[in-house]
Every structure is written in C-alpha cells, then in structure tokens.
A and B are shown apart, each in its own frame.
Chain A
Amino acid sequence: MIWNSAADFWAMGGYGLYVWGSMGMTFGLMALEMLWVKQARAQALKQVALEIEAAQTPAKEWHS
C-alpha cells in the first residue's frame, strides 16, 4: 500500500480536485449511462406493449 493515511489518499498529493474530478465524472457518467439504457428499455417495452394492445383491441375504451 502506498498511502500513509486515508487523508493522503483523498488529497492525492495536492491534486485531489483534478484526480477526483476526473474519476467522479468518469464513473458518474458511466453510471448515468447505465440508468439511461435501463430507462430506454422500459420506454421501448411500454411503447411496444401499448401499440400491440391498441392493434389487437380496437374497440377498447382508452383513458388518456
């Protein structure tokens, strides 16, 4: 282990802002992307399901 203390680790020899700013944005964006693709899948399923319903039950009454 190369860090003498947790404080040293966070400080990154004075470069903390830059290092953690990079790591944070990187992993933050990647996590966000995972959420986005999940949301896209949910929306896709919803759109497909609704269209199939509409196609197969034309007489059904729809609330808006």
Chain B
Amino acid sequence: MFQKLFFYASPQSFYPLAGRLWPLFALAGTALTAWGMWLGMFVAPTDFQQGEGYRIIFVHVPASWMSMVIYLAMAFWALLGLTFNTRLSGMMCRALAPTGAIFAFLSLWTGALWGKPMWGAWWVWDARLTSELILFFLYLGYIALTSAIDDARRADKAGGILALVGALNVPIIYFSVKWWNTLHQGASVSMTKGSSMAQTMLEAMLIMGMAFWLYAIAMALYRVRSIILVRERHVQWVADLPEVQAMRAHALEAQS
C-alpha cells in the first residue's frame, strides 16, 4: 500500500491522477452546493431571533471552517515536504494557499455582513472574527513570501516553515485573542448562541461545509497541475504531454 503512495509522490505520476480526480471533486462539490443551498434557502425555517438574516451562516460558517482546514492541510504538506524533501508536497502546499486565503476573506466579508444587522457594526472585535483576520494575514504572508523568492525549492521550504510556525501559533493566537476579548467586555453575542439550531439549519450548514471542502480539493488538484507543468518543464515527460504538444503546434501557427 505504501508503495502505491510513494508511486504517486512523483510529480510525473501525480499529474495524471490529479487530472482524473479533480472533475470528480468538482462534480460532487457542485451537487452538494446545490443541495445545501436548496436546504438552506428554501427549506430551513425562519430563525426565531434573527429573522432571515441568519441564512448567511450557510456560507459564513463553511468558509470559516475551510479557511482553518486548508491551513491545517498546508501545515501537513509543509511537514511532509520538509521531512522527506519531496517536491510534490511543497507544490500541494502552494496550490492550497490561494483557496484558503479566499475562504478566510469570505469568512470576514460574510461575518461583517452578518454582524451589521445583528450587532449594529460592520466590524466587531469578536474573538473569532479577530482570529480569522489574523489567519487571513498568515495566508497573505505565506503567499507573499513564496511569491517573493525566485528559487522554487527555497520558496517551498521557506513557505513550509512559515506555514508550520503559523499553524503551531494559531491556537496560541486564538487563545490570546479570546482572553483579550473577554477582559475587554467585547460583544458577547455568538453566532449560534440563543437559538438552538433547527435540524435543517445544521444539516444545511454541514452539507455546505462538505461542499466547500470538495470545491477546495478540486481547486487544489487543478492548480497543482499547472504548478507541476512549470516546475517540471525541463523533464521529457512534460514535453511528451498531448496538451503541451498541442500548445506548441498552436504557438507555431501563431508565429507563421
């Protein structure tokens, strides 16, 4: 079984596998999104306290979850890459970052839009929102660092260390922000406190969570293929790829 895994650890073997897998994840993600949104927007009842505005949680909570899950996934690939010095691990870590950053941003955006009608302010220094903001900065830092370093392997490894240090610090940051928040008597409203979640609401939220997860995996698999192409462009198997040869023919036509 491990031999199978090690087989796919080479970019050359992983490239076609990712090519076969991403459409499946995309399809499953689309189906679950449709189901989740149907449940959330057309079946779940009106919330007793928050009216229809609560429906934002069907994208806000999944986005928050994913921003954290993806960061953990990045830390995992970073650890793998630094320990075993595998190229593909670094590429997977890089492939995940933009999607994670987008979900972190969406968590903040939808959080603000949820907060304005409920708490009266576009931004409140709620412990979770503040931690999410810091997580967003951690993502931006990773993307900035890996973009700034020209040497791909150095960028991967440096980013890997940053991702790991960040991941280890996230619980500390969350704890300290929570501490800070309670002492300052911040907004004591919580997203789900007050009304026990109706079954359908929870169901819709979980389905949307899974939908976003599948979407994230599809994006990462698709993106890592582009990274592999550029990184391995000097190796023969890339030149032999049909899509590369088609592009070469296309380029030749464009020249003549």
Do the two chains touch directly in the complex (Cβ atoms below 8 Å apart)?
yes
Decide: B42 and A2 in contact? CB cutoff 8 A.
yes
In contact, B60 and A22 (Cβ under 8 angstroms): yes
| Residue of A with least CB distance to B221 | A37
Q: Chain A: how many interface residues by the 8 Å CB criterion?
A: 36
* B230 engages A44 (CB within 8 Å): yes
Are B226 and A2 in contact, CB atoms less than 8 angstroms apart? no
Chain B residue nearest to A57 (CB atoms) is B252
B149 on the interface (CB 8 Å rule)? no
> Contact between B117 and A53 (Cβ–Cβ < 8 Å)?
no
Number of interface residues of B (CB under 8 A): 45
Q: Which of B45, B99, B247 has the most CB of A within 10 A?
A: B247
Over the window 13-37 of chain A, the binary record of Cβ atoms lying under 8 Å from chain B Cβ atoms (1 yes, 0 no) is 1110011011101100110011011
Residue ranges of A at the interface with B (Cβ–Cβ < 8 Å): 1-3, 9, 12-15, 18-19, 21-23, 25-26, 29-30, 33-34, 36-37, 40-41, 43-53, 62-63
12 contacts between A and B (CB under 8 A): A3-B42, A12-B55, A19-B52, A25-B110, A30-B215, A33-B219, A41-B229, A44-B229, A46-B251, A48-B229, A52-B244, A52-B248
